[in-house]
Amino acid sequence: MSFLQVEQEKCICCGICSDVCPVKMIGMESQGPKAIGEHCIACGHCVAVCPTGALDNEKAPLANQLPLEKMPVLDADTAARFLRSRRSIRNYKETQVPREKIRQLLDIARLAPTGSNSQGISYYVFDRAETLRKVVAAVIQWMEEEVKKASAWAPYFTGIIDSYHKNGYDGILRGAPCLVVAATPKDFFLRGRDNTHFSLAYAELYAPSIGLGSCWAGFFEICATNYPPLMDVLGLPEDMAVTGALMVGYPKYTYKRLVDRNPLQVTWQEN
């Protein structure tokens, strides 16, 4: 049975749905579009692009796609200013973030583009103070072991370890009241990690619009890839691997200036 349904009276046989299909599973006949294979990746492009709403796809239903007629488009200056205003937040208020707000954040993250629309990301949210303390302690313990082994990471860890023991400073999660951990099945790790980067980038960009700040939890992520004691604290299913993590919370401070980076380096290749 075809995954496509076409309302013939609406179809104008323009062929756009066939043209935009990334895996070329849609062909055109005199009566309109027709599925020519079953390997649809459920991207929904065919349904979204149809100018007359004649096409439906059981893998990406028309009923689930919101119309864009009133969609505002940011002008270039506003978009650039918005993107430059995002900062990695490493100082958080102690205020707990409502779980509904975290759900709102991740509901946008799930909409990020992924390779072949493979998606495959699950999110595990940790917002209990005691659990977060255990996470920090486990990562510090891992760092101490890396220092003893004189690993390549050791120089980056000594100051964090010393501050943790002397002052109780949290250089791992930076006192964030919430940790969002992204994970995918282990047999999907390579693609899943790329997909995670896209999705958490969406979360980072959306967070300021709902009053939140975020920062990639890099030390945590490195530790989570090869340190069983940390995985014991997290309690993730055994078939899942951590592919990324974000600290999330309300920013303690407000930045007054936009982000700057190194000068653009671009070369136009003529050969």
User: Distance (Å, rounded) from C-alpha 84 to C-alpha 7?
Assistant: 45
The mean of the pLDDT values for the chain is 94
What is the pLDDT at residue 123?
98
State how far the Cα of 67 lies from the Cα of 81, in Å rounded to an integer: 27
Which secondary-structure segment (H or E) carries 246? strand 240-249
What pLDDT digit, counting tens, does each position of 186-206 carry?
Answer: 999 999 999 999 999 999 999
What are the structural domain ranges in the chain?
Answer: 4-64, 79-249
- Partners of 71 in the beta sheet? none
Sign of CA dihedral 183, 186, 189, 192: negative
Residue 33 near residue 4 (C-beta atoms within 8 A): yes
CATH topology of domain 4-64: Alpha-Beta Plaits (3.30.70)
Q: Which of 104, 103, 247, 118 is nearest to 195 (CA)?
A: 118
pLDDT at 2 over 90: no
Is residue 83 very low, low, confident or very high in pLDDT (cuts 50, 70, 90)? very high
pLDDT the model gives residue 271: 85
Q: Do 47 and 65 contact (CB within 8 A), yes or no?
A: yes
Q: What is the CATH number of domain 79-249?
A: 3.40.109.10
> If you write DSSP's letter for every residue of 192-213 in order, what string do you get?
HHHHHHHHHHHHHHHGGGGT-E
Residue 73 banded pLDDT, cuts 50, 70, 90: confident
Gap between the Cα atoms of 172 and 164, Å rounded: 9
20-61 pLDDT per residue, tens:
999 999 999 988 899 998 899 999 999 999 999 999 999 999
Residue 55 pairs in a beta bridge with: 6
Q: What percent of the chain has pLDDT over 90?
A: 90
Are 4-64 and 79-249 in the same CATH fold? no
pLDDT on residue 30: 87
Residue 66: predicted pLDDT: 84
pLDDT of residue 70: 73
Predicted local distance difference test score (pLDDT) of residue 153: 84
| pLDDT of 101 | 98
Q: List, for residues 101-160, the tens digit of each pLDDT value.
A: 999 999 999 999 999 999 999 999 999 999 999 999 999 999 999 999 998 888 889 999
Judge contact between 167 and 82, C-beta under 8 A.
Answer: no
CA 229 to chain centre: 25
**Range ranked top by mean pLDDT from 70-74, 150-154, 239-243:** 239-243
* Contacts made by residues 37-44, CB under 8 angstroms, sequence distance 24+: 38/3, 40/3, 41/116, 41/117, 41/118, 42/117, 43/117
